Amino acid sequence: MPENSQFPIEENTPYLIDEVGSDTEIETAIETLGDPSVQSPLLKKNYPCFVSDQDQVMVRVSYNSLKKIFKKGSEPLSFELAGPRQKIYFDPTKIRSAIVTCGGLCPGINDVIRAIVHALHYGYGVQSVLGIRYGLRGFIPEYGLPIMDLTLRVVNRIHEYGGTILASSRGHQPIDAIVDALVRMNVSILFIIGGDGTFKAGVKIAEEIKRRDLKIAVVAIPKTIDNDIYLVSKTFGFDTAVEMASQAIKCAHTEAIGAPNGIGLVKVMGRYSGSIAAAATNALREVNFCLIPESDFDLEGENGLLKALEYRLRDRGHAVIVVSEGAGQRYIMDNQVIRDPSGNIKPGDIGVFLRDTFKEYFNAIGMTAYVRYIDPSYIIRSVPANVDDRLYCANLGQNAVHAAMTGKTAMMVSLWNDHYVHVPLVSAIKHSKRVNLNSHFWLSVLESTGQASLKNQQVA
């Protein structure tokens, strides 16, 4: 059995972090297809908020970080500020755009699609926007998937529904075939909505486009319900996911107090990152134990989860436990690693394991306990976005269009230090975020739950 609770970390897998990496590993320069020389149509509309490439947002804003920088006499690391430019690269009357959505579902994807179409049409007068069906496989002729024409009528009400109107898929597709398809369709701008794996494909697509000396922009919008994309303060759909998870936790609490020694157990999404579990725990503050992939726990022993749960039931008569899907994997994963079509390791079902383990433990000690298990995973990711996420999606989509029309490529639009910025894709894929166990965020979880360490021996 593996010695820690995390999935196996392979040698070529970036270490998962929550902090910003070193300055030397973060590229901030954004690639462009050429000098923008076309006057933006927004000028005729007296648009008041133009920005330039000289407008920058610092990567680090803490006092200690800035003190070190100024002591060295160097310039602080910074990202380009997102927004419309007065000069653009593409002639809006002569281009065609395409949008593709990849990976798992997430609240707000349709909102981003709608925002992109509206910004292209109303802001720049771009008339042709294609929707690629079922992720990157939609580019491959062998699948025979039809292209969707994303007109204003088509996207009119899609924000009212969860999922993605374009559908999605996982798995690798040949990069040269994808670029061939872009050329055949006469696409000038490709918008990619996806996560870490999709961004890695986006880097390769942009590289192949550059190798062929084509003038096609690749602009990405970060999407993951787990909120684990590097150099993004928060991904869209996360607030909605936390809100839905909180509802499930509230139901689990109701079930727990409705029975003697009731245990409400809720499993939420989060393969490597426990952000949803931790944030929902903080939001509701009715959780007694929050189990996430970043924080290992023991089952047995005086300080293990089972004893802690027993003490909680004897003291209060009920308990609520929230667990991320990637937590405690050392108890259920054998030596055979199962992967999804994208190569991601598929976790074992920690929720079912804990449910059965709790029943066995309390039966063994002769103590009556009632376990109520709730797994809202697909409900959480499939609902429409809430108002906060809708506003966020609108801003991401609009700023992605502004960047693309200026000829910027191989980049993503990110929310960073309360500003929308341009981040090179090569920087975004260097690491993945995870909950920092030394942060105020995790401290708040511990204070809310009152849980102590669930390890029998502390690591020095």
- Residues 90-115 have pLDDT tens digits of 999 999 999 999 998 999 999 999 99
Question: Do 33-235+385-428 and 239-382+438-449 have matching folds?
Answer: yes
- Residues 133-182 have pLDDT tens digits of 999 999 999 999 999 999 999 999 999 999 999 999 888 899 999 999 99
Give the pLDDT score at 269. Answer: 92
Judge contact between 262 and 255, C-beta under 8 A.
Answer: yes
Residues 6+ apart with CB under 8 A from 367: 261, 310, 313
Q: Is residue 333 very low, low, confident or very high in pLDDT (cuts 50, 70, 90)?
A: confident
Residue holding tokens 């039931």?
313
What Cα–Cα distance (Å) separates residue 17 from each residue in 201, 435, 437? 22, 8, 10
String of b and e for 381-411 (b: at least 16 CB within 10 Å)? bebbbbeebbebbbbbbbbbbbbbbbbbbbb
Q: Which H or E element spans position 194?
A: strand 189-194
d(CA 108, CA 114): 10
What distance lies between CA 325 and its chain's CA centroid? 15
Give the pLDDT score at 10. Answer: 32
Q: What is the pTM of this model?
A: 0.89
Question: What average pLDDT does the chain have?
Answer: 90
- pLDDT surpasses 50 at 30: yes
CATH class of 239-382+438-449: alpha beta
Catalytic residues: 226
Q: At what angle are helices 196-211 and 175-184 packed, to 10 degrees?
A: 60
Question: What is the DSSP track for 24-82?
Answer: GG---PPEESS---EEPGGGGGT-S----TT-EEES---HHHHHHHHHHTPPPPEEEEP
Residue holding tokens 């597709």?
173
d(CA 376, CA 379): 5
- Token representation of residue 240: 């909605």
Q: Is residue 3 very low, low, confident or very high in pLDDT (cuts 50, 70, 90)?
A: very low
Q: Where are the domains of the chain?
A: 33-235+385-428, 239-382+438-449
Q: Is residue 13 very low, low, confident or very high in pLDDT (cuts 50, 70, 90)?
A: very low
3-state secondary structure of 412: strand
Residues 6+ apart with CB under 8 A from 67: none
Average pLDDT over residues 351-375: 96
Give the pLDDT score at 4. Answer: 39
Nearest partner of 143 among 133, 155, 151, judged by Cα? 133
- pLDDT surpasses 70 at 236: yes
Q: Which H or E element spans position 177?
A: helix 175-184
- pLDDT surpasses 60 at 431: yes
Question: What is the DSSP track for 198-243?
Answer: HHHHHHHHHHHHHHTT---EEEEEE--TT--BTT-S--TTHHHHHH
d(CA 187, CA 183): 6
What distance lies between CA 222 and its chain's CA centroid? 6
d(CA 422, CA 182): 23
Nearest partner of 41 among 92, 94, 115, 116, judged by Cα? 92
- Residues 76-95 have pLDDT tens digits of 889 999 999 999 999 999 99
3-state secondary structure of 166: coil
- Residues 293-310 have pLDDT tens digits of 999 999 999 999 999 999
User: Amino acid identity of 42?
Assistant: L
Q: Is residue 8 very low, low, confident or very high in pLDDT (cuts 50, 70, 90)?
A: very low
DSSP class of 329:
G
Judge contact between 119 and 401, C-beta under 8 A.
Answer: yes
d(CA 277, CA 295): 12
Phi, psi dihedrals of residue 201, rounded to the nearest 5°: -65, -40
Q: Does domain 33-235+385-428 have CATH number 3.40.50.450?
A: yes
Total length of the chain: 460
Give the pLDDT score at 37. Answer: 96
Question: What is the DSSP track for 233-283?
Answer: S--TTHHHHHHHHHHHHHHHHHHHHTSTTEEEEEEE--SS--HHHHHHHHH
Give the pLDDT score at 20. Answer: 62
Sheet holding 289-291, edge to edge: 289-291, 318-324, 262-268, 370-374
HEC-encoded secondary structure of 77-90: CEEEECCCCCEECC
Give the pLDDT score at 219. Answer: 98
- pLDDT surpasses 80 at 223: yes
